[in-house]
Chain A
Amino acid sequence: EVQLVESGGGLVQPGGSLRLSCAASGFTFSSYWMSWVRQAPGKGLEWVANIKQDGSEKYYVDSVKGRFTISRDNAKNSLYLQMNSLRAEDTAVYYCARDGKWLVPSYWGQGTLVTVSS
């Protein structure tokens, strides 16, 4: 069974940093593109970033470019999102997702809440 478990969310002040993790199991992690998608409270879904199987390609939405870094450790079956210079508008539930087809998240974690507030 495919499982994705996010962790690392919490309350952080504007300008602060946070690192999210996603532990994957039930599939060959190194064979799939992986993505982060977020959802602000009561709002819709927004793509954040994705990363190729070997980490050689990474793509970001403009609103996080230069502030967020996606990475992965295939030996640990883990996906990460380093978030720096956080803003109030980054407040959201962050979902880790496994892509089936390119940019089609077919499996999602339960999400981790990031709150940026003073």
Chain B
Amino acid sequence: EIVLTQSPATLSLSPGERATLSCRASQSVSSYLAWYQQKPGQAPRLLIYDASNRATGIPARFSGSGSGTDFTLTISSLEPEDFAVYYCQQRSNWPPTFGPGTKVDIK
């Protein structure tokens, strides 16, 4: 099973700042990595799939990059609604696995 590690566990930032979230895989997942946002009491929402493709309706301030084992989700300028938990997920190998999440909270 591929293990995903996310860092940092918590990121404290102010609105307008840039957020950089990291996801590292225990072995190569090629570009088969997705990012999700989850707010308290809500279901996850797909942001990015296949490392760098924004899902339908996702604002351009969200971008993804990376391949192999190292991936990054960047939020160029944080909006108040962006404070949430972010999960990465690989679909390269069965079973698909998720990282433990990075919480982005307000500084």
Given A45-B87, A45-B89, A59-B94, A104 and B99 contact (CB-CB distance below 8 Å): no
Chain A residues whose C-beta falls within 8 Å of the C-beta of B99 in the assembled complex: 44
Tell me the smallest distance from the CB of A100 to a CB of chain B, in Å. 7
Instruction: Decide if the interface of chain A is mainly helix, strand, loop or mixed.
Output: loop
Q: Is the interface of B mostly helix, strand, loop or mixed?
A: loop
Q: B residues engaging A (CB < 8 A)? A: 34, 36, 42-46, 49-50, 55-56, 87, 89, 91, 94-101
> CB distance A106 to B96 under 8 Å?
no
Question: B97 — which chain A residues lie within 8 A by C-beta?
Answer: 47
Question: Could you tell me the distance in whole angstroms from the C-beta of B51 to the nearest C-beta in chain A?
Answer: 11
The smallest C-beta distance from B45 to any residue of chain A, in angstroms, reads 7
* Chain A positions 29-76 with a Cβ under 8 Å from a chain B Cβ: 44-47, 59, 61-62
Q: Are A95 and B43 in contact (CB under 8 A)?
A: yes
- The chain A residues found within 8 Å of chain B, CB to CB, are 44-47, 59, 61-62, 95, 100-111
Give chain B residues whose Cβ lies under 8 Å from the Cβ of A105. 44, 46
A104 touches B49 (CB 8 A): yes
Pair A103/B91 contact, Cβ less than 8 Å: yes
Check B46–A103 contact: CB distance below 8 A.
no
**Given A44-B87, A44-B101, A45-B89: A103 and B43 within 8 A (CB)?**
no
CA distance A41 to B87 in the complex (A): 16
Known contacts A44-B100, A108-B45, A109-B43, A61 near B34 by CB under 8 Å:
no
In the assembled complex, the Cα of A104 lies from the Cα of B42 at a distance in Å of: 18
Q: How far is the CB of A46 from chain B (nearest CB, A)?
A: 7
Most buried by A among B96, B97, B100: B96
Chain A residues with CB under 8 A of B34: 104
Identify the closest chain A residue to B32 (Cβ).
Answer: A103
